[in-house]
Amino acid sequence: MTSPQISKGAATAALLSLAIGSFAIGMGEFVVMGLLPNVAQDLLPQTWATAPGDAIAQAGWLISLYALGVVIGAPTIAGFVARYPRHRVMLVLSIVLAVGNLLTVLAPTFGWVAVARLVTGLPHGAYFGIGALVAADVMGPGKRAKGVAFILTGLTVANVVGVPLGTFLGQQIGWRAAYGVVAVLWVVTAIMIALFVPAHPGDPGRTMRAELRVFRIPQVWFTLALGAIGFGGFFALYSYVAPMVTDVAHAPEWVVPIVLVLMGVGMTIGNIIGGYLADINLRRTLLGGLLSIALVLVILALVSHWIVPLAALVFVMGLVSSSVNPTAQTRLMDVAEDNQSIAAALNHSAFNIGNSLGAFLGGVVIAWGWGFVAPAWVGVGLALIGFGIAWLSFRVEDRSRRRAGLAIAGPAD
């Protein structure tokens, strides 16, 4: 059911325009994970010559720095632009992302590439957050999670098509070529938004100070923490999937894009299933997703020396982890009261803290000499901690409702 203000066709065109942008974000954020050895060899040649593992771990900082940009930019940009028309904000963010990815292509050294990735990460959360509000409004009550999942579909499809193709392209003609494609995609997105996203007013009465009141809500902190830590388990694996395929399973380099396709397919399916299940029972979907991440990582770590079961479990990992994303996004919007703009963006801060945390801790255990399977075990711990935070969040919420004298007929959505 679409919003009564626009036709179904116009709503589809608007959401598709935004989804192309989320595709570009997904490709730009995740393609580096399949190209870490190539980036390390190009930007850190001296370290690569003596210690390839150390060079790959250092190249992993690019993942963490991009994620740090998201963490910084999501609440600040979303809070600042809440008063402005959302269609215009989305257009400006698209242009900034085009420029940031172009800078990544042109940056001559590791240090400058690191700066470019940090800057490019800044608009990420605001783009998704504002896009999620538009999608939720278009889909209407009772289907908000499906609307959020629609926008996130571009992100997951990027892992099916964009990331594997970008990885293959980067392996063949240089990793910078992949980011050249991302820059072009952002130009296309800006044009599509200008043409097809209808006027969507902001909230002129909102201020940065008012938006920041969201941090006074305890359940917001619970939700951010479960996303940041729990989803870090996924990124601990994803960040180092390329060396796991080549150095642990001893598969040739051309297998890496195939494994990434399988993960992307799993993420696409999981995103759709997660949006559907979250509208039925958000609580069980969230808890089940986090627990499943830990379980799949345990099995994956045990069979990672064989490429076929490794590839199959990477697919399952993409499926179960991606179901958490629209679920956590919807949960955060539910508990944020009237602070919707910043809340929708904060979810991406949380997930990118998870990105940074997983990549960093995975790099640490690799640098300690524990091997490329060690990040999977790090991920198990992070996912279980996230599950514990989610369980505690719901217990606290139930207790608060009982104290307020509200009857709880069943698991709360």
Helix, strand, or coil (residue 404): coil
Residue 139: predicted pLDDT? 62
DSSP state of 198: P
Distance of CA 284 to the CA centre of its chain: 21
CA distance 283 to 223: 12
Residue 341: predicted pLDDT? 67
CA distance 215 to 194: 33
Q: What is the pLDDT along the chain (413 residues), one digit of tens a residue?
A: 444 456 677 777 888 888 899 999 989 988 887 788 899 999 999 889 888 878 887 888 888 888 888 888 888 887 788 778 878 888 999 999 999 999 999 998 999 999 999 999 999 888 887 877 777 666 655 566 666 667 777 877 887 788 888 988 998 989 999 999 999 999 999 999 898 877 777 667 666 777 777 888 888 899 899 988 988 888 888 888 888 898 899 998 888 888 888 888 888 888 888 877 887 888 898 999 899 999 999 999 999 899 999 999 999 998 998 888 778 877 887 887 776 667 767 777 888 788 778 888 988 888 888 888 899 999 999 999 999 999 999 999 888 878 776 544 455 44
Indicate left, alpha or beta for 251 from its phi (over 0: left) and psi (-120 to 50: alpha): beta
What number of other Cβ atoms are within 10 A of residue 8's Cβ?
11
Residue 263: predicted pLDDT? 86
Helix, strand, or coil (residue 288): helix
Asked whether the beta carbons of 103 and 133 are under 8 A apart, the reply is no
| Cα dihedral 10, 269, 243, 374 in deg (nearest 10) | 120
Asked whether the beta carbons of 261 and 160 are under 8 A apart, the reply is yes
Q: At what angle do helices 175-196 and 86-106 cross, to 10 degrees?
A: 160
Q: Measured between alpha carbons, how far is residue 3 from residues 151, 265, 338 in Å? A: 16, 30, 20
Helix, strand, or coil (residue 2): coil
CA distance 375 to 370: 9
Find the angle CA(65)-CA(347)-CA(242) to the nearest 5 degrees.
45
CA distance 34 to 253: 10
Which residues, 6+ apart, have CB-to-CB distance to 132 below 8 Å?
A: 147, 148, 151, 329, 333, 344, 347
Of 248, 258, 231, the residue nearest 366 (C-alpha): 248
Sign for the pseudo-dihedral over CA of 7, 8, 11, 12 = negative
Sign for the pseudo-dihedral over CA of 25, 78, 71, 381 = negative
Residue 6: predicted pLDDT? 63
CA distance 394 to 334: 13
CA distance 327 to 212: 23
Of 385, 289, 281, 286, the residue nearest 328 (C-alpha): 286
Tokens of 150: 């629609």
CA distance 98 to 183: 5
Which residues, 6+ apart, have CB-to-CB distance to 349 below 8 Å?
A: 70, 71, 74, 75, 125, 224, 228
Domains in the chain: ranges and CATH:
8-400 (1.20.1250.20)
Asked whether the beta carbons of 122 and 72 are under 8 A apart, the reply is yes
Record the pTM: 0.72
CA distance 312 to 361: 24
Residue 130: predicted pLDDT? 82
Which residue type does 33 have?
M
Helices (H), 213-281: 218-225, 232-238, 241-243, 255-280
